[in-house]
Chain A
Amino acid sequence: MTPVIEVTGLTKRYGDTVAVDDVSFTIDQDKIYGLLGRNGAGKTTIMSILTAQNFATSGGVRVFGEDPYENARALARLCFVRESQKYPDDALPHHAFRTARLFFPNWNQEIADRLIREFQIPTKTRIKKLSRGQLSAVGVVIGIASRAEVTFFDEPYLGLDAVARQIFYDRLLEDYTEHPRTIILSSHLIDEVSNLIERVLVIDRGRIVMDEDTDAVRDRAANIVGDTAAVDAFVAGRDVIHRESLGRVSSVTVLGTLTPADRDRLAAQGLDVAPVSLQQLFVRITQSAAEKAAASEEGALR
């Protein structure tokens, strides 16, 4: 696989705050990535730096093997759909689409028209007056119709209702299938996108905590539920990332794929196994990391 983006030791500081902390990863050509992280984890900062809309404090970013700063050739191959995209005050949606058409060499008007129709975007209302969902839809149209070699969608669904979001996912997948390209989708609605993304990058407080194929993560964790003593005996020595108890019943989330022998043992002891979705795994991993960080800080203070 050819990497289209290479990030090495990327760090971004705002005063004393470290937004991105020595991050390294690569993005392969023609894959759909999920960039997941809590608010303030550093997702938007990373995407801004990759698209030359922000400066790195230190570390290197290569896009198509080049430095993206003031590099019109590289930037024309990228499309960044910002969550808070600003448009000129008197701009109408069709101005935005016409500008995008001029800017992106692979722009496809047919798919743009179809999406405008499906999202029911009022093309004669000023963008300023659009609802949050309609504004998001404008960004989605540009992101899909631009057919850029690398497209970043930063929380593109804000304000979109369930029907509009499904249209977005379906059209994205359709267009990607016909015209494979690299897509980086930052999202909080993990369960909605988990089947679309081939690879998952999880960022937590400025660091990458997961960089794996989505399918490989699906059986990465399991919930073990049952009598507390039996659950404890089973999870002893395993990587426990979450624990809940109610009376004598416990539910414990463990990392690691269960072997057939594990499953036989669980069945023999009357313990139940429940799958852990990508979203649950994401929540548990970031929570567990936060708890460990808090614990070590406390330790350091003592």
Chain B
Amino acid sequence: MIEEGRALFLQIAESVEDSIIDGSLPVEGQAPSTNELAAFYRINPATAAKGVNMLVDKGVLYKRRGIGMFVAPGARDLLLAERRTVFADRFVEPLLAEARKLGLGPADLARLIADRAALAQPASSTTEGNAP
């Protein structure tokens, strides 16, 4: 669950973000508390708090005094936009670079992707909504 070599607070923040993206934590829903996160991942509460605070600074969570942390309106769109940019940088850029080496243009690549997607998921699933 927790991987070595990466700051824990980032991993905690990402785990909350993942729940928001996949919808298990809806907008205006109550986010897990620092103590719940610390107990679940068996980590120091200060580290969990750092992750939660990062999400507050980013506008993903907001605090209701005396009640807890909640998912901000627009948080999911914000995260999806962010993850899509990361996806383009991390996956599409190298894909284009390798394709260029093989003499494949963007149109060839698009056709290739469509063909493979059709093979992988015969006659189902929309392309909408399932961001990486």
The interface of chain A, by Cβ under 8 A from chain B, is: 31-32, 169-170, 173-174, 176-177, 180, 195-198, 214-216, 218-219, 222, 274-277
Contacts and interface: CB of A to CB of B under 8 A. Distances in A.
B42 A218 contact: no
Nearest to A221: B5
A216 B3 CA distance: 14
Interface in B24-68: 35, 38-39, 41-47, 50
Contacts of A170: 42
A216 B7 contact: yes
Nearest to B97: A268
Interface of B: 2-9, 35, 38-39, 41-47, 50
Contact of B44 (A32, A218, A219): A32
A158 B44 CA distance: 22
Contacts of B39: 173-174, 177
Contacts of B7: 215-216, 218-219
Given A174-B39, A177-B45, A215 B4 contact: no
A215 B35 contact: no
A173 B42 contact: yes
A169 B42 contact: yes
Which of B2, B7, B8, B35 has the most A CB atoms < 10 Å from its CB?
A: B7
Nearest 9 CB-CB pairings of A with B: A275-B5, A275-B4, A195-B43, A277-B4, A198-B44, A215-B7, A198-B46, A177-B35, A177-B45
5 contacts: A173-B38, A173-B39, A177-B38, A275-B3, A275-B5
A152 B45 CA distance: 19
A257 B6 CA distance: 10
A165 to B, nearest CB: 12
B5 A219 contact: yes
A196 B42 contact: yes
Given A177-B35, A198-B47, A219 B6 contact: yes
A195 B5 contact: no
Nearest to B3: A275
A222 B41 contact: no
Nearest to B89: A260
A170 B3 CA distance: 20
Contacts of B47: 195, 198, 214-215
B44 A197 contact: yes
Given A173-B38, A177-B35, A195-B2, A215 B45 contact: no
Contact of B46 (A31, A222, A275): A31
A215 B50 contact: yes
Given A177-B35, A215-B47, A195 B6 contact: no
A222 B42 CA distance: 24
B58 to A, nearest CB: 18
B4 A195 contact: no
**Residue of B2, B4, B9, B38 contacting most chain A CB atoms (<10 Å):** B4
A195 B8 contact: yes
Given A196-B44, A277-B5, 20 more contacts: A32-B44, A177-B45, A195-B43, A195-B47, A196-B42, A196-B43, A198-B46, A214-B47, A215-B8, A215-B9, A216-B7, A218-B4, A218-B5, A218-B6, A218-B7, A219-B5, A219-B6, A274-B5, A275-B4, A277-B4
Nearest to B93: A264
Contacts of B9: 215
B32 to A, nearest CB: 13
A111 B6 CA distance: 34
Contacts of B4: 218, 275-277
A189 B9 CA distance: 22
Nearest to B51: A215
A215 B7 CA distance: 5
Nearest to B94: A267
Contacts of B35: 177
Nearest to A264: B94
A176 B2 contact: no
